[in-house]
Structure 1
């Protein structure tokens, strides 16, 4: 198959395979070559191996696009593909909001699964609370648990991520839900909060609520926060957003519509999505849950916050971040990274990012 005929996903798989063989480790599409053991000398072997697969690259491309996902997209731009077969999500993957709401329980049900759970139980001082909002939970928790700098670390998962629970559709409702469990765990400040991607938005609102209660928020770290730019129509409801979500998944995972939920789940797990506590039967609910949280984010407008905050953001999102976040954060400290990808994975384990968050927590402990 020529490079022009390959999908981006197929190119990603080739690059992952080459890196995995040369580095003797499992490689995901969002892994940074230089963070998982690669160096400038090994780049030469990478180029030679990739050329054997018909992928002709210069060394500069690997340095500028150091993840398989970014490199595959770069190659796709350089070699426009022939028209590919249309992608389509399997019908069983769609669950209407009406069906979910009629069969699932309220997030406020007394026996609803807890959103807060421990990542690192042992440690000294007030815990670090991390808000996650996404699919690659296993990777996120294994990466961010190192941020604690000797403190206990707890993670929040969105309502509806586990069990037969309805999701919430506003950031305010999510914060209401999280505050109950956070205050049970730590009734008084100072508080240390962090979040990434859409979870950074929720962490921000948590910090605002805590300060409104007269509590101290000593550390608020927002890693690659959502730029809060419009991505769907404001007139869309949950079903429209869910269909948009399924179209995106079909393209991302090369679905043609006849796959079983088991097959779809297997493909997602290979990419690091979800974890072994979830199964194929959870996929339809999880897509509605994603859509509900996307709707919540789409409606959210940040209010001013005059406390200390660290924002870590990719330079490609600098303009949106300055417009939508820094305009309401007079005490913000910013760290600009240049990973060039939308996914937050490279940023979560960037040594400079980890060191800066740990330094702030250590400074507070001192």
Structure 2
């Protein structure tokens, strides 16, 4: 049935059903998608499922009309959409990929900023190396530094996160870039690697490359790894992904488009997205960097790895993880965690995760 033949209540029921299944909760007509556990990445899955019901919507519709009632009225009465808080990122936040590539240097140049830096300098045994994707860095580093269980701990940040450097656009290139600095720091194994979220994918590829060099990888911890399900269109390039990213930020931080970069940065700092080594002027570059990393992840398909792996994953992502990861990980040990939707950044705050990581990494 086409949207023109659906009543508002029918569209509302479809939306509530899709959201309820994806978020594993009962959804009321007035529930805000982003307040009941939804996020920008899940919006794409919402759009795909709504399309199966004949509702072909853009991501901006969910951001502008984030309740089932508002979205249903928008669909059935497009000429007179319901009142809603219109969100929009400030124009200054957008930087095209062409402009960035013209004005920033390669991460492979000798004077480019380093990606590896110490989190815990003192300790015993081989270091733990943690790969992070690039945002929420301040919180992630404070949460994961304790994983080392007495070891020195180092962190990797993506090329382009600090300084006027172009991002890389494949997982393979990112792993190669990190390995240059890892091997300078520790020429021989055994190596202890861990990654969070999309950074877990990079840590995985680093482990594969080290084993191909006949090096020992004693521990590979993948905490809440990307489930490798698509979250952007396969036809999108960097600029399209960046615009989608900015729509997400506008919704998440309540932007109207009139804010200065200083105001946007202040709001993001309060949520521990960035630390004081970055400033408002870095925000446009960082969004393109995020887009490049998203594109890299979107193109990635894991090859088999027969070393020991510890996967800590949200139970809601179990099916995708079992489909996309476990078939290529014959020695994987898994911990499925379920926090509900009320705890922010739940996996990194879960004491079970800290205890498990520390037990695996004890010198």
TM bucket, shorter chain: 0.7 to 0.9
Contact 1:245-1:287 at 8 Å conserved across structures: yes
Shift of 1:361: 1.3
Residue aligned with 1:313, SS: strand
Q: Which residue of 2 aligns with 1:237?
A: 237
Q: Which residue of 2 aligns with 1:249?
A: 249
The structure-2 alpha-carbon separation of the partners of 1:117 and 1:147, relative to structure 1 and needing over 3 Å to count, comes to same
Distance, in Å, in 2 between the alignment partners of 1:78 and 1:357 is: 40
The structure-2 alpha-carbon separation of the partners of 1:327 and 1:340, relative to structure 1 and needing over 3 Å to count, comes to farther
The structure-2 alpha-carbon separation of the partners of 1:186 and 1:342, relative to structure 1 and needing over 3 Å to count, comes to farther
Q: Which residue of 2 aligns with 1:357?
A: 357
Residue aligned with 1:158, SS: coil
- Residue 149 of structure 2 corresponds to residue 149 of structure 1: yes
The structure-2 alpha-carbon separation of the partners of 1:329 and 1:6, relative to structure 1 and needing over 3 Å to count, comes to closer
List 4+ stretches of structure 1 deviating above 6 A: 3-9, 76-82
Q: Please, what TM-score do these two structures have when normalized by structure 2?
A: 0.78
Residue aligned with 2:257, SS: coil
Q: Which residue of 1 aligns with 2:193?
A: 193
Contact 1:189-1:217 at 8 Å conserved across structures: yes
Residue aligned with 2:231, SS: coil
Distance, in Å, in 2 between the alignment partners of 1:218 and 1:80 is: 52
Q: Which residue of 2 aligns with 1:225?
A: 225
1:154-169 matches, cutoff 5 A: 154-169=154-169
Q: Which residue of 1 aligns with 2:291?
A: 291
Distance, in Å, in 1 between the alignment partners of 2:158 and 2:230 is: 22
Single out whichever of 134-143 and 148-157 deviates more from structure 2. Answer: 134-143
Q: Please, what TM-score do these two structures have when normalized by structure 1?
A: 0.77
Q: Which residue of 1 aligns with 2:122?
A: 122
Contact 2:29-2:68 at 8 Å conserved across structures: no
Shift of 1:80: 7.2
Distance, in Å, in 1 between the alignment partners of 2:112 and 2:250 is: 31
Distance, in Å, in 2 between the alignment partners of 1:117 and 1:133 is: 14
Structure 2 stretches lacking a partner, 5+ long? 1-27, 37-65, 72-81
Contact 1:314-1:340 at 8 Å conserved across structures: no
Q: How many residues align?
A: 298
Residue aligned with 1:192, SS: strand
Distance, in Å, in 2 between the alignment partners of 1:131 and 1:231 is: 21
Contact 1:137-1:274 at 8 Å conserved across structures: yes
Distance, in Å, in 2 between the alignment partners of 1:151 and 1:92 is: 43
Distance, in Å, in 2 between the alignment partners of 1:148 and 1:158 is: 21
The structure-2 alpha-carbon separation of the partners of 1:210 and 1:237, relative to structure 1 and needing over 3 Å to count, comes to same
- Superposed CA RMSD: 2.4
Distance, in Å, in 2 between the alignment partners of 1:310 and 1:276 is: 33
Q: Which residue of 2 aligns with 1:263?
A: 263
Distance, in Å, in 1 between the alignment partners of 2:87 and 2:212 is: 48
Q: Which residue of 1 aligns with 2:4?
A: none
Q: Which residue of 2 aligns with 1:325?
A: 325
The structure-2 alpha-carbon separation of the partners of 1:204 and 1:112, relative to structure 1 and needing over 3 Å to count, comes to same
The structure-2 alpha-carbon separation of the partners of 1:344 and 1:7, relative to structure 1 and needing over 3 Å to count, comes to closer
Distance, in Å, in 2 between the alignment partners of 1:113 and 1:360 is: 31
Distance, in Å, in 1 between the alignment partners of 2:345 and 2:141 is: 11
